[in-house]
Amino acid sequence: MLRTILALVLAGSLLSLTAIAPAAAAGDQPVPPRQKWSFSGPFGTYDRGQLQRGFKVYREVCAVCHGLKLVAFRNLAELGYSEAQVKTIAAEYKVQAGPNDQGEMFERAGQPADYFPAPWPNENAARVRYNGVPPDFSVLAKARTYERGFPWFVADMFTQFQEQGVDYIHALLTGYEDKPPAGVTLPAGNFYNKYFPGHAISMPPPLSDKRVDYTDGSPTTVEQYSKDVTAFMMWAAEPHMEARKRIGFQVMIFLLVFAGLLYFTKKKVWADAH
Amino acid sequence: MSGPSTYQPQNAFMKWMERRLPIAGFVHSSFIVYPTPRNLNYWWTFGGILTLMLTAQIITGIVLAMHYTPHVDHAFNSVEHIMRDVNYGWLLRYLHANGASMFFLAGYVHMFRGMYYGSYKEPREVLWILGVILLLLMIATGFMGYVLPWGQMSFWAATVITNLFSAIPIVGEAVVTWLWGGYAVGNPTLNRFYSLHYLLPFVIVGVVVLHIWALHVVGQNNPTGIEPKSDKDTLAFTPYATIKDSFMMVCFCIVFAWFVFYMPNYMGHADNYIPANPAVTPTHIVPEWYYLPFYAILRAIPDKLMGVMALGASIVILAFLPWLDTSRVRSANYRPLYRQFFWIFVAVCIGLGWLGAKPAEGGYVIAARILTLYYFAHFLVILPVLGWIEKTKPLPNSISESILASNRAAS
C-alpha cells in the first residue's frame, strides 16, 4: 500500500513536470560559458593588473553612460595605485560642491574622499538620452545572474561556484550579433544580444578591438576588454573579498582544530557512560 | 527546575547570595545536574545550536542596527555603506544574512527530529506548541529582516506578502492599508518593519525561555520514546550534554562559516542587489529558501483567500500534531509504517520547496497541488489512521536496556 502511494505521488508530480519542459526550453538564453577568474575559489585574489586595465576600460568606454556612485576615488588605492596616482585620477573629475559662503553651488576638482560623479544629471535625463537608464556599476556584478537549475545549484554549494554574475556580464559584452536571426524583428534602437533576456538590448555593442590602449602588452581585443572590465566590476561590488577569503581560511582552520579537540574530549567524557 | 537542587554554596558570598537570590542553585539544577536521557543522539543537539544562532543573530543585528538607516532613500546605500566602509561590516552583514538561513536550517532539523521521535506527545504538547509559536515568530522576523536592505526582492516580497491580507473578506483592503501605513509599500512600511524586526527577536527570547522551562518540567524525549525510569537511564547535563552540544555547535559553525566566507550570496537573490523600484516588477518574485514550501502551498490554490488560508493552515496544523497522531508509541524506531511515511513527508516538504522556487505555471502548479494535498493528508488522514492500524514493534523495558541491547548487537 505504502509503495503504491509513494509511486502515485511521485509519478503524478513527475508527469506534470514533463508537461512543461518544452515550454520552458523555448525562448531561453544560452548558458553563459564558464570563464577562468583569478578571484574564484577559496584562495582567489584579484589580479591588480587586470583591475587597472578594467578600470581603464570603464573610464574610457563605460563611464559615458554607467555610474559607479558607491565607489570613492580613495578606494582605487586597492587597485594598486599610489596615493599620488589616486589624487591625480580624482582631480581629473569635476564634482559639484557647495553651497559656498555666497550660497552658490560650484564645481571643483575631485578629491580622494569624493565618490564617482554620476554621468547624467538624473534618471529622466538618462532615459531620454539612452533609451533607458544605464544601470550603476557599483554592485552590478552581484545583481546579475543566470539560473543554474537542478542539480547544478546543489553542486555549487560544494564547488563554491559563484561567478554566475561575471560569467553573464562577460557573455553579454561578447554576445552581440550584427544581424538578428531570421524571423526576429527588434524594436527601434535595440540590438540583438544572445545572452540578454529577451535578446533586445538598448545598449549598443560597447566594445570593439583596439578601442582602449593597454600599456602592459595585454591583447587589445573585445574578449580581453570584457574580461578586464568585468573583473573590475566584481571588485567594485565586493571590495573586501580578499579579506573575506583570507579570514575565512583562518576561521576554518580554527574551527576544524576546535571541533577535533571537542570530539576527543567528548569521547573521553563519555567513555565511562556507555 | 526539575530534580532537587543539590547545590551547596562553597564560599561565604555565595551562601549569602543563595539565601537571597538562588540563581547559582538554579543554574546548577538546570544546566549542571539536570538529568538527560543517556541515549540521546546527535539530532538532540539542535536545540543548543538554535540557542547559539539566536544569540549570534541578536548580537550581529544590534551592531548592524547602529549603522543601518531605515529610510527608502537611504536603506540600500546604508547597507552598502556597512559592506564597504564599516570595519568588518561585510562580516557582520554576511553573518546576519546567512545566520537567518542557518537558524531556519537548524529549526527545521529540530522540528523533523521532534516529528520522527514523537517528541510532541503527552506530556510534551505545550512544549511542542511553544515551538510552533517560535516558528511563526521566526517566519515573521526573517521576512521583515529581508525587507530592510530595500532591494528589488525586499520591496516586492513586502508587496506580495502584505497583499495576502487583502484576501480577508470586507476588511482586507483596510487591513492592508493599515499594515502599509499608506496606500502602497513605502517609507512607513519600512520603518515599522525595522521597528518590529528589532522587537520580535526579544519576543523569541521570551518564548524560548518558556520553551526551555516547559522542557525542564517534562524532561527530554529520547530515541526510544520511553521515559527514564531510574538513575541508570540518565546522565548529568554537565559534562555529558554540554560537551556533546559544544562539539556539534562547532561543527555547525563550520557549515555556517563555509557560506559566510566563501559563498555569502549563495542563499540570497541577485535581484536584491538592485535598489527597490516600485515601477519595475522582477520576472520571478521568489522568497528565501526557508519559506518556499509554504509559498508553493499558497500558489497551489487557485483562489486567493483559500490559498492564504492553506498557507496559514500548513503552519497552524503543526500545533495540532499531538492530537492528530493517535499512536501511543512515540518513537518512529518502533513504528515501521510511520517511519516510512515520515521520510515521504520530508521528501514532500523538499519537493514543495523546489516547486516554490519555480514559476507558477503548467506542470509545476499541478505538481504543487498534488504535494500540497499530500502535505495535509499526512496530518489529517495518514497520522490518525496509522495510530489505529499500525503494528508497532515491542518497546524495550528501559533506556539502559535498549543501550545494552544495541551494544550487544554492535559487538
Give me the pLDDT at residue A22, please: 39
Provide the CA A246 distance to its chain's centre, in angstroms: 21
Using a CB-CB cut-off of 8 Å, the residues of chain A touching B374 are 9
Mean predicted confidence (pLDDT) in A4-23:
54
**Per-residue pLDDT tens digits for B8-30:** 898 999 999 999 999 999 999 99
DSSP state of A67: -
Contact A262 B235 (CB under 8 A): no
Q: Up-side HSE of residue B89: CA atoms within 13 Å toward CB?
A: 17
Q: Is the pLDDT of residue A1 over 70?
A: no
Distances from the Cα of B172 to the Cα of B33, B111, B162, angstroms: 53, 32, 10
A127 close to B (CB below 8 A): no
- Residue from A14, A20, A161 whose CB has the most chain B CBs within 10 Å, to mutate: A20
Contact B263 A157 (CB under 8 A): yes
Q: What's the CA gap between B81 and A13, in Å, rounded? A: 45
DSSP state of A101: T
Q: What's the CA gap between B284 and B287, in Å, rounded? A: 10
Residues 6+ away with beta carbon under 8 Å from A259: B247, B250, B251, B254
Using CB atoms, which residue from A14, A23, A255 is nearest to B362? A23
Backbone angles phi, psi at A239, to 5 degrees: -65, -20
B394 close to A (CB below 8 A): no
Q: Up-side HSE of residue A228: CA atoms within 13 Å toward CB?
A: 28
Using CB atoms, which residue from A20, A42, A262 is nearest to B363? A20
- Kindly give the pairing relationship between strand A200-201 and strand A106-109: unpaired
Distances from the Cα of B302 to the Cα of A220, B59, B172, B352, B360, angstroms: 56, 42, 18, 16, 10
Rg (CA), chain B: 24
DSSP state of A271: G
Q: What's the CA gap between A166 and A230, in Å, rounded? A: 6
A152 close to B (CB below 8 A): no
Find the range with the poorest average confidence among A83-92, A243-252, B22-31, B85-94.
Answer: B22-31
Using a CB-CB cut-off of 8 Å, the residues of chain B touching A70 are 77, 80, 84
Nearest CA in chain A to B362: A20
Cβ–Cβ < 8 Å for B317, B376: yes
B405 close to A (CB below 8 A): no
B239 close to A (CB below 8 A): yes
B79 close to A (CB below 8 A): no
Q: What's the CA gap between A189 and B400, in Å, rounded? A: 79
Using a CB-CB cut-off of 8 Å, the residues of chain A touching B340 are 2
Find where cell 591625480 sits.
Answer: A88
Nearest CA in chain A to B405: A274
Cβ–Cβ < 8 Å for A112, A74: yes
For CA atoms B43, B48, B52, B53, the dihedral sign is positive
Give me the pLDDT at residue A273, please: 82
A129 close to B (CB below 8 A): no
Using a CB-CB cut-off of 8 Å, the residues of chain B touching A160 are 262-263
Instruction: Report ipTM for this prediction.
Output: 0.94
A155 close to B (CB below 8 A): no
Q: What's the CA gap between B179 and B191, in Å, rounded? A: 11
Mean predicted confidence (pLDDT) in A253-257:
98
A9 close to B (CB below 8 A): yes
Cβ–Cβ < 8 Å for B337, B390: yes
Using a CB-CB cut-off of 8 Å, the residues of chain A touching B91 are 244, 247
Cβ–Cβ < 8 Å for A247, A43: no
Q: Which of residues 21-50 of B touch A (CB under 8 A)?
A: 38
Q: What is the pTM of this model?
A: 0.94
Give me the pLDDT at residue A131, please: 86
A82 close to B (CB below 8 A): no
In order, the DSSP letters of A127-177 are HHHHTS-PPPSTTHHHH------TTHHHHHHHHT---HHHHHHHHHHT-EE
Distances from the Cα of A86 to the Cα of A64, A90, A94, A99, angstroms: 20, 6, 15, 26
Nearest CA in chain B to A262: B247
Cβ–Cβ < 8 Å for B108, B290: yes
Contact B240 A273 (CB under 8 A): yes
Cβ–Cβ < 8 Å for B267, B63: no
User: How close are the terminal C-alpha atoms of chain A, in Å?
Assistant: 40
A23: confidence class by pLDDT, cuts 50, 70, 90: very low
Residues 6+ away with beta carbon under 8 Å from B26: B1, B5
- In sequence order, what are the beta bridge partners of A107? A96
Using CB atoms, which residue from A18, A140, A245 is nearest to B262? A245
C-alpha cell at B402: 535498549
Q: For residue A40, give the amino acid letter.
A: S
Q: Which of residues 223-252 of A touch B (CB under 8 A)?
A: 237, 239-240, 243-245, 247-249, 251-252
CA distance to partner chain A, nearest, from residue B74 (Å): 12
- Residue from B73, B98, B250 whose CB has the most chain A CBs within 10 Å, to mutate: B250
Q: What is the 3-state secondary structure (H, E, C) of chain B?
A: CCCCCCCCCCCHHHHHHHHHCCHHHHHHHHHCCCEEECCCCHHHHHHHHHHHHHHHHHHHHHHHHCCCCCCCCCHHHHHHHHHHCCCCHHHHHHHHHHHHHHHHHHHHHHHHHHHHCCCCCCCCHHHHHHHHHHHHHHHHHHHHHHHCCCEHHHHHHHHHHHHHHHHCCCCHHHHHHHHHCCCCCCHHHHHHHHHHHHHHHHHHHHHHHHHHHHHHHHCCCCCCCCCCCCHHHEEEHHHHHHHHHHHHHHHHHHHHHHHHHHCCCCCCCHHHHCECCCCCCCCCCCCCHHHHHHHHHHHHCCCHHHHHHHHHHHHHHHHHHHHHCCCCCCCHHHCHHHHHHHHHHHHHHHHHHHHHCCCCCHHHHHHHHHHHHHHHHHHHHHHHHHHHHCCCCCCCCCHHHHHHHHHHHHC
Nearest CA in chain A to B77: A70
Q: In what helix (H) or strand (E) does residue A243 lie, and over which residues does it extend?
A: helix A241-270
Contact A273 B235 (CB under 8 A): yes
Rg (CA), chain A: 25
**Per-residue pLDDT tens digits for B351-387:** 999 999 999 888 999 999 999 999 999 999 999 999 9
Cβ–Cβ < 8 Å for A3, A9: no
Give me the pLDDT at residue B404, please: 87
Contact B240 A245 (CB under 8 A): no
Using CB atoms, which residue from B265, B340, B363 is nearest to A142? B265
Give me the pLDDT at residue A144, please: 97
- Residue from A168, A233, A244, A267 whose CB has the most chain B CBs within 10 Å, to mutate: A244
Q: Is the pLDDT of residue A21 over 70?
A: no
A193: helix, coil or strand?
strand
Give me the pLDDT at residue A101, please: 94
Provide the CA B101 distance to its chain's centre, in angstroms: 10
Mean predicted confidence (pLDDT) in A231-241:
98
Q: What's the CA gap between B298 and B163, in Å, rounded? A: 13
Cβ–Cβ < 8 Å for A213, A220: yes
- Residue from A14, A124, A251, A272 whose CB has the most chain B CBs within 10 Å, to mutate: A251
C-alpha cell at A126: 538618462
A16 close to B (CB below 8 A): yes
A9: confidence class by pLDDT, cuts 50, 70, 90: low
Q: Is the pLDDT of residue A15 over 80?
A: no
Q: What's the CA gap between B328 and A196, in Å, rounded? A: 59
B263 close to A (CB below 8 A): yes
**Count of Cβ atoms closer than 10 Å to residue B2 Cβ:** 12
B91 close to A (CB below 8 A): yes
A96 close to B (CB below 8 A): no
A54: helix, coil or strand?
helix
CA distance to partner chain B, nearest, from residue A215 (Å): 30
Ranges in chain B, pLDDT < 50: 1-2
Nearest CA in chain A to B400: A274
